Chain A
Amino acid sequence: MLKPLLTPILILLPLLLLHSNPITTPEDILLYIKLPRTVIGILSGASLGIAGALFQTVTRNPLASPATLGVNAGAYLAVTATTIFAPEIFTWSPLLVAFTGGLLAALLVYAITGKEITPIRLTLSGMAVSLALAAFTSALQLLYENQTRDLFFWGAGSLLQTNWQGSIYAAPRVLLGAIAVFLIAKPLDVLLLGEDVARSLGAKVQWTRLCSTLLAVFLASVAVSVVGPIGFVGLVAPHIGKLMGCRQHRILLPSAAMWGAVVLLAADLVAQQISSELPAGGITALLGAPFLVWLVRSSPRLLSKTGGNHGLIKSRLPYPVLLFAGVLSLLMVMVLGLSLGNINLGIHQLIPVILGNSDALTERIVLYLRLPRLLVALLAGASLAISGLLLQGVVRNPLAAPEIMGITSGAGLGALLVLLLVPDIPVTFIPIAAFIGAIVAFGVVYLAAWQNGVAPARLALIGIAVSAFCAAGINLLVVKSKLQVAQALVWLAGSTYARQWDEVWQLLAFPLILLPLGWLFARKLDVMALGEDLPRILGMRLQKARGVILAIAVALAAAAVSTVGTISFVGLIAPHAARLLVGSRHRQLVPIAAILGAILVILADTVGRVLLAPKEIPSGLVTALIGTPYFLWLLGLSRR
């Protein structure tokens, strides 16, 4: 019975010695620098471990954790926003800020997931919300570069301490939270029996749930407010406890707390071995993501049916009218994009440019500066939209998108790796590196998800794990490369900045070939929407069809990302909006989604150029800022 508690202690002790490294350092450094760092590691690791265990019990979902429920991202956004707009509130109570942000994000994720809390639904909505909030955070960081310059470092999760202040602040709060959690350990055991049994035993199910959720968010927020958003500790720690045989919460909770401390301290130790500036948060993700893959592969229970609920309100307009209106709107935003910018040009100035008899400056601005980047935006938008549509069809989940399948962050990692490892490489190779990165990342996802075929739910979850892994890698590289942060941030945010005719020609081949192919295969997606068995009965070779469609989707997304960086939300939103307009038949969806995606990115490019001119806002941030509220509205709509 005591083994699950003794083992982490036995590991923790030598780890402590290693971590504080007492032999070579004078006692003051040990006492005032190393030890506070160790203590803050133990406190926040324990908080995250307990929070993870609570979330997993409350949602009866082995994949729940502060990171997957959006708590980390929400807290981080709240901290960033208050640092900029109300620094006095932040210094007054960083915990309150982080707690409010974390709680709101968690509530949002619950609300989106809806009644049926399957692991896949919960994880996908958590991921989508996290992405949305992260986009807001980086928008703020780019626009208020001076105020938030070094939050990026904190945002990667660092245990670095200057004094005992952090520990003195965190210790009583963690202790208080832990005691409160212990008081509800018994009712939590009852909760594991399932709602009906628990209720028949006379347990106050709702009350226990509410208390534990609040406590979990509280504990996670304490950790975020002192060491930044650290992922995966909250996911991994409770599982190690469970693997060691802890069933009852009286044992499971302390065990999760101690394993949390072990994992975080070990990650910090590894980070310090590599470089004195590496934040522990990056390492926990690098270690935790493979664990998540293993967890998904070894739990067949996770693969309960996905909520393939595509039933949105269908508009009553006939299809040809919609298509015509779409093309017309596309043309209009193109003209708008051509005429707006640092100087605004009227139609009477645009026409001479096309006829070739305008002045040199106008011609340069319209034909060589605006038109190519608008065309790149058009092509990339259409490609991302169709990639998202196909992925959502295959995974049978409306929340799937290139950024959730590891494609986007894989491309980012590939590009950044090449940028840093071979700094003298000609810039033309960076898109190629991004393309390869995207393909490799998705290849890993696909292979890891293969167990006698690829189950859509497993594919999505492993995609999330690999995305997190690549995102952590990107964070580490950005932190390590110092001055180049601005450069990397702009590229990572997704940018149509300064795209030229070369890039138009480079990108053109992919949509030109793959969009019609996507349209051809779209009909198979209608059949796939019927479930696992029906398509087989109808004589469809399900795995092969999935493979082909996925290949098209990945190639489209990879081409787009390698040209414009990680523009997110287009792949998520454009298909949704298209479904809202034309219903669920994929052949009709393909052209409309492509047009909507193109319009979204063209608008983003134009807004980004015009809003703060001559300052440019990366298009990826604009799509996220336009897209997030729309996305949330759509999700609300689809649940009605």
Chain B
Amino acid sequence: MSKFTRRAFLTAATASALTVACNRSPRPQAANPTATRVIALEWVYAENLLALGIQPVGVADIQGYKRYVNVEPSLDESVVDVGTRQEPSLEAIAQLKPDLILGVELRHQTIYDTLSAIAPTLIFNPYPSANNSNQLDEMQQTFLKIAERVNRRDVAEKVLQQMQTQFQTATTRIKNTPKPDFVLGQFSDNTPQLRLFTDNSMAAQIITAIGLKNAWKGEFDRFGFNTVWIEALPKVETANFIYISAPNSPYQKQLEDNPVWKKLQFVQQNRLYAIAPDTWLFGGPLSAQILTEKIIQTFA
């Protein structure tokens, strides 16, 4: 028993030593005005860095990024995967010794304190909740903020200028489309669900910016889309149906055999426009340009 007590004493001593050690505050990071080692915990910010000509040192869920986000330049082979977007590995992040971490409020607000103890951390909210703001504006503002932080405001302004120029090109290219009304839909992989994008979404804003008109007037949704099924489509059947579908969505196939679908005006008049599934609707200026290109290709 005496041995046991001594062991217990040692345990207690170690524990209190640890407690003392842990109460020292973490060493403050030297605030570096121009960040060069940046980690992006959300895909859109990785894309933003690439647009600014910076390869991030770490990105969350690189495999997913490559599947959904299809922009040039692409991520270097040397970029380190730091885990999932939801629960990125804090150890992997610390190990990369970053001088800037970019995250999204929805996922990373809860770990903000821990992240900023590792390096200065910026957290953005790409889904403004008020009706007076929209996701396209927010995207540009965030892009500029990030650019400032890495000292490349000039590059950012050029990229945004390019995007606006392309919007104008697109406007003139598709000016002669007889019907400017559109609905933007996205099919789910394996449930009978269709996302229809509302006016505040970035995708709908972009298509509106090039002169088309969103015919879907659903209730305001923070994320920018309403989830519906075909009952909702007759309401907008006079519009053009632009859609994104997963490569093998079984429900889209089922839909094609459905009499309701077959009788919809945009189906009968062949006004269906498919867009490749690797078009990221929640991205930055580069993704916006890709979406615009695809729209030009389908309409012009």
Binding site for B on A (CB under 8 A): 25-26, 28-29, 31-34, 83, 146, 149-151, 153-154, 158, 160-163, 165, 276-277, 320, 324, 327-328, 331, 341-343, 353-354, 356, 360-361, 364-365, 367-372, 423, 427, 482-484, 486-487, 490, 495, 497-498, 500-501, 609, 613-616, 618
**Assuming A33-B260, A162-B255, is B114 touching A497 (CB within 8 A)?**
no
Q: List 11 A-B contacts (CB under 8 A).
A: A26-B234, A29-B230, A29-B260, A150-B188, A163-B257, A276-B232, A354-B18, A367-B18, A368-B22, A427-B110, A614-B81
Contacts of B18 in A (CB 8 A): 354, 367, 371
In the complex, the answer to whether B254 meets A615 with C-beta atoms within 8 Å is no
In the complex, the answer to whether A150 meets B193 with C-beta atoms within 8 Å is yes
Contacts of A364 in B (CB 8 A): 26, 94, 117-118
Contacts of A614 in B (CB 8 A): 81-83, 88-89, 91-92
Contacts of A609 in B (CB 8 A): 89, 91
Contacts of B94 in A (CB 8 A): 361, 364-365, 369
**Assuming A483-B223, A616-B84, is B259 touching A160 (CB within 8 A)?**
no
Residues of chain B in range 191-215 having any CB-CB distance to chain A below 8 Å: 191-193
Contacts of B189 in A (CB 8 A): 146, 149-150
**Assuming A361-B97, A490-B87, is B4 touching A277 (CB within 8 A)?**
no
Residue of B nearest to A364 (CB): B94
CA distance A31 to B231 in the complex (A): 12
- Measured as residues with beta carbon below 8 angstroms from the partner, the interface class of chain B is 35 or more
**Assuming A324-B4, A361-B94, A371-B22, is B190 touching A150 (CB within 8 A)?**
yes
Residue of A nearest to B255 (CB): A162
Closest 8 CB pairs of A and B: A614-B89, A614-B83, A342-B91, A150-B191, A162-B254, A614-B92, A616-B87, A498-B111
Residues of chain B in range 240-294 having any CB-CB distance to chain A below 8 Å: 251, 254-255, 257-260, 263
A319 CB → nearest B CB, Å = 12
In the complex, the answer to whether B106 meets A160 with C-beta atoms within 8 Å is no
The answer, among A28, A276, A482, for a CB contact under 8 Å with B263, is A28
Stretch at the interface among B7-15, B155-163, B165-173: B7-15
Contacts of A34 in B (CB 8 A): 231
Contacts of A368 in B (CB 8 A): 22, 26, 114, 117
B117 CB → nearest A CB, Å = 7
The answer, among B27, B81, B106, B190, for a CB contact under 8 Å with A151, is B190
Residue of A nearest to B117 (CB): A368
B99 CB → nearest A CB, Å = 14
B195 CB → nearest A CB, Å = 9
**Assuming A354-B18, A498-B114, is B229 touching A33 (CB within 8 A)?**
yes
The answer, among A33, A153, A367, A498, for a CB contact under 8 Å with B21, is A367
In the complex, the answer to whether B254 meets A427 with C-beta atoms within 8 Å is no
In the complex, the answer to whether A165 meets B91 with C-beta atoms within 8 Å is no
A502 CB → nearest B CB, Å = 8
Given contacts A277-B193, A498-B87, 7 further A-B contacts (CB under 8 A): A160-B191, A328-B7, A354-B14, A368-B26, A427-B109, A483-B223, A614-B82
Contacts of A28 in B (CB 8 A): 259-260, 263
Contacts of A327 in B (CB 8 A): 7-8, 11
B17 CB → nearest A CB, Å = 6
Residue of A nearest to B257 (CB): A163
In the complex, the answer to whether A276 meets B229 with C-beta atoms within 8 Å is yes
Contacts of B188 in A (CB 8 A): 149-150
Contacts of A342 in B (CB 8 A): 89, 91-92, 95
CA distance A342 to B230 in the complex (A): 47
Contacts of A320 in B (CB 8 A): 1, 4
Contacts of A154 in B (CB 8 A): 190-191
A597 CB → nearest B CB, Å = 18
The answer, among A165, A484, A500, for a CB contact under 8 Å with B106, is A484
- With an 8 A cutoff between CB atoms, is B228 at the interface? yes
Q: Which of B24, B86, B227 has the most CB of A within 10 A?
A: B86
Residue of B nearest to A489 (CB): B86
CA distance A328 to B3 in the complex (A): 12
**Assuming A327-B11, A343-B95, A500-B113, is B107 touching A487 (CB within 8 A)?**
yes
**Chain B residues touching A, majority SS:** helix
A379 CB → nearest B CB, Å = 13
Residue of A nearest to B82 (CB): A614
CA distance A411 to B85 in the complex (A): 25
- With an 8 A cutoff between CB atoms, is B90 at the interface? yes
A40 CB → nearest B CB, Å = 12
A594 CB → nearest B CB, Å = 15
Residue of A nearest to B88 (CB): A614
Contacts of B87 in A (CB 8 A): 490, 495, 497-498, 616, 618
B127 CB → nearest A CB, Å = 8
In the complex, the answer to whether A162 meets B251 with C-beta atoms within 8 Å is yes
In the complex, the answer to whether B254 meets A163 with C-beta atoms within 8 Å is yes
Contacts of A369 in B (CB 8 A): 90-91, 94, 114
In the complex, the answer to whether B192 meets A165 with C-beta atoms within 8 Å is no
CA distance A290 to B190 in the complex (A): 33
In the complex, the answer to whether A500 meets B89 with C-beta atoms within 8 Å is no
CA distance A244 to B29 in the complex (A): 74
In the complex, the answer to whether B22 meets A613 with C-beta atoms within 8 Å is no
CA distance A342 to B92 in the complex (A): 6
**Assuming A32-B260, A341-B91, A342-B95, is B22 touching A501 (CB within 8 A)?**
yes
Residue of B nearest to A277 (CB): B227
Q: Which of B89, B228, B232 has the most CB of A within 10 A?
A: B89
Residue of A nearest to B10 (CB): A331
Residues of chain B in range 99-146 having any CB-CB distance to chain A below 8 Å: 106-107, 109-111, 113-114, 117-118, 129
Contacts of A31 in B (CB 8 A): 259
In the complex, the answer to whether A162 meets B95 with C-beta atoms within 8 Å is no
**Assuming A354-B17, A483-B223, A614-B88, is B4 touching A160 (CB within 8 A)?**
no
In the complex, the answer to whether A490 meets B86 with C-beta atoms within 8 Å is yes
Q: Which of B82, B192, B228 has the most CB of A within 10 A?
A: B192
CA distance A427 to B4 in the complex (A): 42
**Assuming A320-B1, A360-B27, is B89 touching A616 (CB within 8 A)?**
yes
Q: Which of A83, A320, A341, A370 has the most CB of B within 10 A?
A: A341
CA distance A146 to B188 in the complex (A): 11
Contacts of B260 in A (CB 8 A): 28-29, 32-33
Contacts of B227 in A (CB 8 A): 276-277, 482
Contacts of B129 in A (CB 8 A): 423
Contacts of A146 in B (CB 8 A): 64, 189
Contacts of B111 in A (CB 8 A): 498
B107 CB → nearest A CB, Å = 6
The answer, among B110, B255, B257, for a CB contact under 8 Å with A498, is B110
A79 CB → nearest B CB, Å = 11
Residue of B nearest to A504 (CB): B22
B101 CB → nearest A CB, Å = 13
Residue of B nearest to A26 (CB): B234
In the complex, the answer to whether B259 meets A32 with C-beta atoms within 8 Å is yes
B260 CB → nearest A CB, Å = 5
Residues of chain B in range 18-37 having any CB-CB distance to chain A below 8 Å: 18, 21-22, 24, 26-27
CA distance A208 to B231 in the complex (A): 46
CA distance A197 to B163 in the complex (A): 84
CA distance A160 to B263 in the complex (A): 20
A94 CB → nearest B CB, Å = 12
Contacts of A495 in B (CB 8 A): 87
The answer, among A33, A277, A360, A501, for a CB contact under 8 Å with B230, is A33
Residue of B nearest to A148 (CB): B190
B43 CB → nearest A CB, Å = 13
Residue of B nearest to A356 (CB): B21
Contacts of B223 in A (CB 8 A): 482-483
CA distance A165 to B189 in the complex (A): 18
In the complex, the answer to whether A161 meets B17 with C-beta atoms within 8 Å is no
Residue of A nearest to B264 (CB): A28
Contacts of A165 in B (CB 8 A): 254
CA distance A285 to B209 in the complex (A): 46
In the complex, the answer to whether A32 meets B258 with C-beta atoms within 8 Å is yes
B49 CB → nearest A CB, Å = 19
